Amino acid sequence: MKLTKNQLADLGILLVLFLSTGWYLWDTWQASTEIYNLIFVLPLAIIILLLCLTTFLGELIFASPGPDLPTERQSGDAEPSIMPTVLLFAGYVLSLPWLGFDVGTFAFVGLFLQLAGEKRWWWVLGYSLAFAFCSALFFSFMLPYPMPLLLLPGGN
C-alpha cells in the first residue's frame, strides 16, 4: 500500500502527539504519584494515546484514497492559512485572566466555529455555550485550585 504525502504527514503528526503525550505522562508520574497531580493528566493521556493508536492503525489498515478524492494539491489551489486560528488561540490564552475561563472559552469556540465556516448562528451560540459551561464546571470541580471564572460561581 502506497501512502500519499498527506497521509504520511498525518501519520507523522499522530506519532509526535503519541510520543509527546507518553513522555508528558511519564514525566508527570515521575514527579509525583499523588492523586491530585494525576487526576486530570492520567485519564486524558490514556484517552489521547488510545485515540492516536486507533487513528494510526485505522489510517494504515483501512484508509486509501478514493477514485474521486484528490491525493495531491494542485498547483493552482490556494493554501489554507492557519494564521487566523493561531492568532485566535493566542488571543484566547492571553485574555483568560480578564475574561475568565468560562467567557473566554465561549468566545473562542464561537469565533473558531465562525472562522471554520459555520453559518448557523444558533448552532454556534448553542455549541459554544454548552461547551464553555460544561468544560468550566468540569475543570472547576476536578482541579484542586481555583480557576479564573467570570460568570460561573467558584472562580477566584
Residues 107 and 139 in one domain: yes
Confidence at residue 31, expressed as pLDDT on a 0 to 100 scale:
85
**Would 58 be classed as within a structural domain?**
yes
Domain end point (choices 70, 93, 125): 70
**Would 51 be classed as within a structural domain?**
yes
Domain end point (choices 70, 92, 124): 70
CA gap 57, 129 in Å, rounded: 34
pLDDT digits (tens, 9 = 90+) for 54-95: 888 888 777 665 444 455 555 555 556 788 888 999 999 999
Residues 44 and 15 in one domain: yes
Number of domains the chain contains = 2
Say which residues have a Cβ less than 8 Å from residue 54's Cβ, sequence separation at least 6: none
Residues 62 and 113 in one domain: no
Residues 2 and 65 in one domain: yes
CA gap 112, 89 in Å, rounded: 9
Say which residues have a Cβ less than 8 Å from residue 150's Cβ, sequence separation at least 6: 99, 100, 102, 103
User: Amino acid letter at 146?
Assistant: P
Could you tell me the residue range of the domain that residue 119 belongs to?
81-150
**Would 76 be classed as within a structural domain?**
no
Residues 96 and 140 in one domain: yes
Residues 86 and 141 in one domain: yes
CA gap 64, 126 in Å, rounded: 36
Confidence at residue 2, expressed as pLDDT on a 0 to 100 scale:
75
Residues 46 and 108 in one domain: no
Residues 66 and 85 in one domain: no
Q: What percent of the chain has pLDDT over 90?
A: 28
Say which residues have a Cβ less than 8 Å from residue 148's Cβ, sequence separation at least 6: 96, 97, 100, 101, 155, 156
Least confident of 77-81, 100-104, 135-139, 151-155: 77-81
pLDDT digits (tens, 9 = 90+) for 24-52: 888 888 888 787 777 878 888 899 889 88
Residues 6 and 66 in one domain: yes
Region for residue 154 given its phi and psi (left: phi exceeds 0; alpha: psi -120 to 50; beta: otherwise): left
Residues 90 and 52 in one domain: no
Residues 89 and 54 in one domain: no
Residue 155 clears pLDDT 70, i.e. is over it: no
Region for residue 117 given its phi and psi (left: phi exceeds 0; alpha: psi -120 to 50; beta: otherwise): left
User: Could you tell me if 53 and 88 are in contact, meaning their C-beta atoms sit under 8 angstroms apart?
Assistant: no
Residues 119 and 97 in one domain: yes
Confidence at residue 92, expressed as pLDDT on a 0 to 100 scale:
92
